[in-house]
Amino acid sequence: MDNPQRITLTIAPIVEEICKVLPVLLFIRKKEHSGARTLTTLIVFCAMTSGVGFSIQESMYYFAISSREVGDLIALTIRAATTALMHGMTTAAFGIGVLILHKHILIPMLFGLLALSVSLHALFNLLLQTPLALLAVGMPVMMFFSGLILVRHIESKGNSSTENYK
């Protein structure tokens, strides 16, 4: 395995996921203000936004260093369309985990959620380089609809409210 491929498959998912989940960790502070507050599904949408924003920044970087030939622009367009949802959903998976576990959050659980996000990201990167690339492109879409169903289920159960987060 050469260095660029090693970075793409092993190092980049770890560094990128850490950078994307750091803002989400602000939601789990125990005491924001006085009074009891609950964590809402807003954390999931903020997490997804953090991931999509990261993807936009990353795509802008790749566009800036590209030769801007037609082939590069087509590849960048496809890349931007597929990775935006992937980055958003891997971070949203972390947010969903925090939402579900927020009353019993422990440091090992946060590392477990981070490991899940990193694993999903690394699997996406790995599958893109194989004949299963179409599966990789469909993976974030499946994650999106699964997450949407889960968040709606959590909201309908009344486990979240429209109050501010804890």
Q: Which residue has the higher pLDDT, 4 or 16?
A: 16
> DSSP letters of 94-132?
HHHHHHHHGGG--HHHHHHHHHHHHHHHHHHHHHHTSTT
**pLDDT band with cut points at 50, 70 and 90 for residue 1:** low
Tokens of 65: 């260093």
For residue 166, the model assigns a pLDDT of 43
pLDDT digits (tens, 9 = 90+) for 121-138: 999 999 988 999 999 999
Using DSSP's 3-state secondary structure scheme, residue 38 falls into coil
pLDDT at 3: 73
What does the CA dihedral 8, 16, 141, 123 come to, rounded to 10 degrees? 40
The mean pLDDT value for 5-22 works out to 86
When pLDDT is cut at 50, 70 and 90, the band that residue 38 belongs to is low
Q: How many CB atoms lie within 10 A of CB 36?
A: 6
Residues 6+ apart with CB under 8 A from 127: 133, 135, 136, 139
**∠ CA(71), CA(66), CA(58), 5° rounding?**
110
Taking only the tens place, the pLDDT of each residue in 71-109 is: 888 888 888 888 999 999 999 999 999 888 877 778 899
* Cα–Cα distance, 142 to 152 (Å, whole number): 16
Give pLDDT, residue 160: 43
The pLDDT score that the predictor gives to residue 36 is: 42
Q: What is the pLDDT of residue 163?
A: 44
Vertex 15, ends 55 and 6: CA angle to 5°? 95
